[in-house]
Amino acid sequence: MESTNKPMAVYQKDVESINADAQSLLERYSGLSPAEVIPHVLSLRDEAFKVYHYPCIGQMRFLAFNFRRMPFYHQVVDRLRADPSATFLDAGCCFGQEIRYLVDQGIPGKQLYGCDLEQIFIDLGYKLFRDKDRLEATFVTGDLTADDPAFAGSPLSQTLSGNIDIIFASSLLHLWDYDTQVRAAIRLVQLCRDKPGVMITGRQLGSRLGGHYPIHGVEDNALHYRHNVESLKGFWRDVEIATQTRWKLEATFFVDDAVEQTRKVVPDYDSNATMICWCVTKE
């Protein structure tokens, strides 16, 4: 198991460039000059990092546009293009970068939704992409781990329950221990339409040896659950029982720079740690 970690270990200093896709989008979509991009991004990154020490913020991974790298990406995009009534939710959207990428790819904003725990991330997303006056996507706040009355009364539940066809949960479920992950997944199911073909997809930190591990940079002494393919099968079976639904699971490990980046700054990092992506389709 791993030692505890200080927040600044997951904070990337001396950033001189960002990935080419993000640079291009911020110039083309947001209207920033090339020289404006880095100072603009770093200023907003630092604002967000003050709220939560998420490694994905500190290490600039919020500009990675991960959804397009997932094996289910083209299936989702084709579905959104073919059916104007189909809806997509980026759960735990942070700055809403995946939504901006989809809009840039021609998906109408009115089909797209984002949710996060804190309104500040949504507001910073508008500042980052400079599109508050033109983006048609809908953003709401809500806590997927809240008790039932609090969740039922949240903007997230009030706006989206029973209305979503496709959910993408990137770097989300791995924030919590196993039981809390189950609770959050149950809430995701509740947001979906009650019909076959609905999809919940995700990517997160996993481990070839599934189990609870210290989570770095978020909360001292906290543990989170890292899945492997077998544990995900059991996990979604627990969700099925709780929601009286049936889902077909596909999951696979994949290589990602984020794990190696963290391994360099965290002593005694889990040697089995790797990324895992998954998709469940309602039967």
Q: Read off the pTM.
A: 0.92
- Tell me the residue range of the domain where 257 lies: 65-282
Whole-number Cα distances in Å, 21 to 25, 64, 77, 150, 154 = 6, 8, 18, 38, 34
Does any domain span residue 48?
no
51-70 pLDDT tens trace = 888 778 888 888 989 999 99
Does any domain span residue 274?
yes
Does any domain span residue 170?
yes
96-124 pLDDT tens trace = 999 999 999 999 999 999 999 999 999 99
How far apart (Å, rounded) are the C-alpha atoms in residues 165 and 162? 9
Does any domain span residue 96?
yes
Provide the CATH number for the domain around residue 188.
Answer: 3.40.50.150
154-200 pLDDT tens trace = 999 999 999 999 999 999 999 999 999 999 999 999 999 999 999 99
For residue 9, what pLDDT is reported? Answer: 55
7, 53 in Cβ contact below 8 A?
yes
DSSP letter assigned to residue 253: E
112, 137 in Cβ contact below 8 A?
yes
Does any domain span residue 50?
no
Does any domain span residue 242?
yes
Number of structural domains, the chain?
1
Does any domain span residue 31?
no
Does any domain span residue 107?
yes
